[in-house]
Amino acid sequence: MSSSPMFDAASTPLPSASNLVTWGALPDSRILNAPNFNTPYPEYPLLRGNDYIINKFYPFTMKFTTPLLFSLTYFTSVHLLNKVVYNRQVKAYQRKHPEAKTLPEKLPAASYWISRTKIFKILVLVHNILLCTYSVVTFAGMVYTMSFNARHLIPEMFGNYFEQSDLKPSHMFWQSVCNIDNGIWQNHGDSVRGLAFWGYLFYLSKFYEIIDTMIILLKGRQASLLQSYHHAGAILCMWAGVRFSSPPIWIFVVFNSFIHSIMYFYFTLSCLKIRVPFLFKQYLTTLQIIQFVVGGLLAVLHMFVRYRDIIQGTTKGCINSGEEALAIYMNVIYLTPLTLLFGAFYIDSYKKKRVSIAKKND
């Protein structure tokens, strides 16, 4: 890779505080290196854990085969179960409409008995409350961590290193995000949890979220491609970010936890039979599409940032290895069709519905 025309951050020193963060026309050449999946796992990030969790469960979750096989099994199972649910929907419709010669474009739900029980409805309510609460806590925790780093730790660090340091907000932000050893990835004291902590929990939460799909299937409705693709891809993308401590993974955690706070709040209200305005759902879908587009572009932007590591005295690219770049590649590949699927969902759910309502009113 030494002959690559791309930027070689390690050989380009930055002499002054005013140039602590700069932008390059090309990324660090080392992002073209193939990821090394045999690199040591990051240090166990949670506060507590017994021997089994730390030495068995945690390494198991860090293996690439774990999210890969889980996602493939989940995606395939949903496809097969959709056929079962579809046949059930057809039979239920034909029983109610024996004279019908054709099936409607959208079949009514054919719920299983368990989904009509009180205990099931209570469990679904608790599920949505838990995920809403967890999402709010994660979003608040990440915002606090990033704010604490930018307002306190980074300025103090630079203030001691440079006698006259003219720090800009962008300096503090990028230094905090890109510096894995001294930035937002690390815990600071008992009250400030780092991205390693929040990111790992967020990665595990993606496994739990497939309960959403189970609820849909038990209610006698088919899970959409959007639903299954969304969950399967999120697991893999979060794994890559956590496994290789990739700086842009903060985007996934912050943006997605914010959207999920609203989304699961809406689901909770629906469980409680509280009517939500139609525009609320439309705006929520719009926010989801915006997070994919802005988040993907912002992730790519990390590849063009270089920062001055004042501890080691060297200039580095924010993304300076094939391992760190892997999370960006996977997220961009994942988000492109996901955005299209959400766009199609938006059109089907809101634009076509408005046209249909307008025609009826005419």
DSSP bridge partners of 188: 192
Q: Residue 288 falls within a domain, yes or no?
A: yes
Would the CA dihedral through 321, 326, 332, 335 be positive or negative?
Answer: negative
Cβ-contact 75, 232 below 8 angstroms: yes
If one counts the domains in the chain, the total is: 1
Q: Residue 10 falls within a domain, yes or no?
A: no
Cβ-contact 214, 280 below 8 angstroms: no
Distance spanning both ends of the chain, measured CA to CA: 66
Whose CA is closest to 231, among 70, 105, 106?
70
Quote the CA–CA distance of 72 and 94 in Å, as a whole number. 33
Residue 106 sits at φ, ψ, to 5 deg, of -120, 110
Q: Residue 215 falls within a domain, yes or no?
A: yes
Q: pLDDT 10s digit of each residue in the chain, 362 long?
A: 333 344 444 444 444 555 678 888 788 888 888 999 999 999 999 988 899 999 999 999 999 999 999 999 999 999 999 999 999 999 999 999 988 889 998 899 999 999 999 999 999 999 999 999 999 999 999 999 988 887 766 666 665 555 445 667 777 788 888 888 878 898 877 778 999 999 999 999 999 999 999 999 999 999 999 999 999 999 999 999 999 999 999 999 999 999 999 999 999 999 999 998 888 889 999 999 999 999 999 999 999 998 887 777 788 889 989 999 999 999 999 999 999 999 998 898 887 665 554 455 55
Decide: pTM greater than 0.85. Answer: yes
Domain enclosing residue 287, as ranges: 45-361
Q: Residue 160 falls within a domain, yes or no?
A: yes
Quote the CA–CA distance of 195 and 145 in Å, as a whole number. 8
Q: Residue 53 falls within a domain, yes or no?
A: yes
pLDDT digits (tens, 9 = 90+) for 214-236: 999 999 999 999 999 999 999 99
Q: Residue 326 falls within a domain, yes or no?
A: yes
pLDDT digits (tens, 9 = 90+) for 6-53: 444 444 444 455 567 888 878 888 888 899 999 999 999 998 889 999
Whose CA is closest to 307, among 195, 188, 197, 179?
179
Q: Residue 14 falls within a domain, yes or no?
A: no
| Side-chain half-sphere exposure of 341, counting CA atoms within 13 A | 13
Q: Residue 73 falls within a domain, yes or no?
A: yes
| Side-chain half-sphere exposure of 332, counting CA atoms within 13 A | 13
| Side-chain half-sphere exposure of 272, counting CA atoms within 13 A | 13
